[in-house]
Amino acid sequence: MGRLIIYASRYGAAKRYAEELSARTGIPAVSFERAKRSEGCETAVFFGGVYAGNVYGLRKAARRLARQPVRSLIVAPVGIADPADAAVAESLRVGIGRALPQNLRGKEKIVPLRGSLDCSRLGFFHRTLLKLLYKSMKNKREEELPAEMRALVQVYGRAEDFVDFSALEKIDALLHV
């Protein structure tokens, strides 16, 4: 049975989760840019950082996986927003559904995870994008902000690390179904 962990990470949080799951399960972990190794894959776990509501790398990785005999696909979006918030979880679910090709749609199980953000480490593009998002949000009242943006506004200018490996137990359980 071919099993593979794929990650798409810009600042390391999704990669940290992927490598920890790989160490726990013995399933190899590869970056989505090198996911040509998905040959024969039946079970795939994808970890991707969330950027402006989209899961980085998912569309590309899923296009490759769609050509494999995938029976089980676990998608773990890694974002700064708290997925315990139903609105955050719902907007991730909708976005992930849209990023998947037809023959994978409905096979996915989604396990949202919390990532980390260190504003001092951002590259020029992301710093600018975050600044624009922040400017458009900062004068709104908290209850007016989309749930996924609330956390970004709170962390803006600072560093926060919410990576929690105990959340991987949910994925481990799905791998044993």
Ligand X SMILES: Cc1cc2nc3c(=O)[nH]c(=O)nc-3n(C[C@H](O)[C@H](O)[C@H](O)COP(=O)(O)O)c2cc1C
Least distance CB 157 / ligand X (angstroms): 12
> H or E segment at 154?
helix 147-155
Total residues at the site for ligand X (CB under 6 A)? 25
Q: List alpha helices for 10-104, DSSP H.
A: 13-25, 58-65, 86-99
Whole-angstrom distance, CA of residue 103 vs CA of residue 100? 8
10 is a site residue for ligand X (CB under 6 A): yes
First to last CA, the chain: 14
**Paired tokens of 82:** 């708290």
In the complex with ligand X, the residue whose CB is nearer, 44 or 117, is 117
Least distance CB 28 / ligand X (angstroms): 18
11 is a site residue for ligand X (CB under 6 A): yes
Among positions 41-80, residues that touch ligand X (CB under 6 A) are: 49-53, 78-80
Identify the residue whose tokens are 């962390």: 155
Q: What angle do CA 92, 63, 42 make, to 5 degrees?
A: 90
In the complex with ligand X, the residue whose CB is nearer, 4 or 13, is 13
Instruction: Check if the beta carbon of residue 114 is closer than 8 Å to that of residue 80.
Output: yes
Whole-angstrom distance, CA of residue 88 vs CA of residue 92? 6
In the complex with ligand X, the residue whose CB is nearer, 71 or 94, is 94
137 is a site residue for ligand X (CB under 6 A): no
Per-residue contact string for residues 88-127; x = within reach of ligand X by CB under 6 A? ---------------------------xxx----x---x-
Beta-bridge partners for 161: 116
4 is a site residue for ligand X (CB under 6 A): no
Identify the residue whose tokens are 């940290």: 16
18 is a site residue for ligand X (CB under 6 A): no
Select the span of 9-17, 30-38, 59-67, 99-107 touching ligand X (CB under 6 A).
Answer: 9-17
Question: Residues in the site for ligand X, rule: CB under 6 A?
Answer: 9-15, 49-53, 78-81, 115-117, 122, 126, 129-130, 148, 152
